[in-house]
Amino acid sequence: MVAVAAAPAERIAPERLVYTGELRTLYRIAAVNLLLSVVTLGFYRFWGRTRLRQYIWHAILLDGDPLEWTGTGWEMCRGFLIAAAVALIAYAPIYTLTLAGPGFEILLDVYQIAFGAVVLVLAGFVAFLALRYRLSRTRWRGIRGDLEGSPWPYAWRQFGWWLLMIPTFLLAVPFATVALRRHLIRQARLGSLSVECQARGGAVFPAFLVSIAVGAGFVGLLSLLWSVGAFGAIVTAVLVELGSAGSLGFVLILVFATLIVSAYPCVTSIYHASLYRHLAESSSASGLSVRTTVTAGNLFGLRFTNFIIIMVTLGIGLPLVWHRQLRFFAEHTAVIGIENAERIAQAQNKPTRASEGMLEILDIGAV
């Protein structure tokens, strides 16, 4: 009976994504990277990042086989140098106008506004190129990833959505996010494998509204507690004055601080868990699909603990945070129909040469 019951369960066993990384190895790599980056004025960071990615990618097993990071430090360094040179040229008029003395303030303002507009359009362009770089340097079973197509449609889409943000009072956020992610998911490739994505912004909009409502509730609760806390502090002061020191004020302040600290991860977890689930459920690729068990609750648990770790360790806990994040997403993500992966063939196009240098320049942030 047991064997019969176990057999079908085994066949659809969803544990196809495993993270095998070790915390102490992450710490060792991070420590060496930090040390060498400092003594080389930061130039080691490209090789350090490469080393870290090599380790993390290799620690993620899909159906028993590791991902592979094939990017090189020099490639990233070169991309950064080119981007830095472009940035220096772009900054040159600002330098010149600053040095040119009084009377050029208006010209300086005009240039800086134009500069800002160009950066806004370029942000999407650069994000696309950076993702293309990362996918094209990622392999699984020797098959190379990629991001198809031109970066410009993505850049203009993102710019357009940004323009919509203010007139819609940010209510366009979930629609913008889903539309942009959907675009990227549809362009993503693993060899010959492409992904269909039918995600709709409307599907995550309720969760977005709930997030906002919870956020507003938090603010209301906090203001209420604040007044009570102030009241409590007065009561405590009176009690102390009378000789019986109470700790009511202290407890209230503690509750208050905990609520503040947990507000942001809690509010965003509701929306982000919904976003993650919806994107996963509405994407599929010739017999392969992703199932996730991420919920607002477990995502909040992860984020809240990570937040506390960073606050308490003043950043020294960062590798622990990475570790927990990787473990979390591996645990809560399953690839269904992995046996269909056999049909994936290597793509014939050449991998991109551009790296993610501009991303760093525009300060969008990258791992």
Partner 1 sequence: MIAARYYDGRTARGHEVRLRLRSDLLLIDVAEGVPLANWPINEIRRSGSWEGRGPFALLCEAHPDARLLLPDGGSAALFRSMVPQLAAAERVRNRRALRWVGLGTLAAVLAVALVYEAVPRWLAPAIPSSWLEPLGDTLLAGLEEEHALCADSVGRQALERVANRLAATAGYDGKIRVDTLRWRELNAFALPGDRIVLLSGLIDQAEPDEVAGVLAHEVGHVVNSHVNEAVLRALGVQFLLTFLTGTGDLAAAATALAGLGYSRAAEKEADRFAVAAMRAEALRISGLRRFFRRLREEEGRSDIPSWLSTHPATADRILAIPDDPLGVDPFTPSEWQVIRSTC
Query: In the complex, which residues of this chain contact partner 1 (CB under 8 A)?
Result: 20, 22, 25, 36, 39-44, 47, 51, 54-55, 57-59, 61, 64-66, 68-70, 80, 83-84, 87-88, 91, 94-95, 98-102, 139-144, 191, 341-346, 360-361, 363
The SS3 assignment for 283 reads: strand
Answer yes or no: are the C-beta atoms of 192 and 344 closer than 8 Å: yes
C-beta of 292: minimal distance to partner 1 in Å?
22
For 104, the token pair is 């050029």
Answer yes or no: are the C-beta atoms of 55 and 82 closer than 8 Å: no
C-beta of 126: minimal distance to partner 1 in Å?
12
C-beta of 59: minimal distance to partner 1 in Å?
7
Residue 137 or 182: the one with the smaller Cβ distance to partner 1 is: 137
C-beta of 111: minimal distance to partner 1 in Å?
11
Render 140-203 in DSSP notation, one character per residue. Answer: ETTEEEEE-S-HHHHHHHHHHHHHHHTTTTTTTHHHHHHHHHHHHHHHEEETTEE-EE---HHH
Residue 284 or 305: the one with the smaller Cβ distance to partner 1 is: 284
- Amino acid letter for position 358: M
Q: Tokens 């909040």 correspond to what residue?
A: 300
Q: Which residues contact 95 (CB under 8 A, 6 or more apart)?
A: none
Answer yes or no: are the C-beta atoms of 165 and 195 closer than 8 Å: no
C-beta of 117: minimal distance to partner 1 in Å?
17
Q: From residue 78, give the alpha-carbon distance in Å to each of 336, 355, 360.
A: 39, 8, 12
Residue 87 or 171: the one with the smaller Cβ distance to partner 1 is: 87
Residue 125 or 175: the one with the smaller Cβ distance to partner 1 is: 125
Residue 63 or 281: the one with the smaller Cβ distance to partner 1 is: 63
C-beta of 68: minimal distance to partner 1 in Å?
4
Answer yes or no: are the C-beta atoms of 200 and 206 closer than 8 Å: no
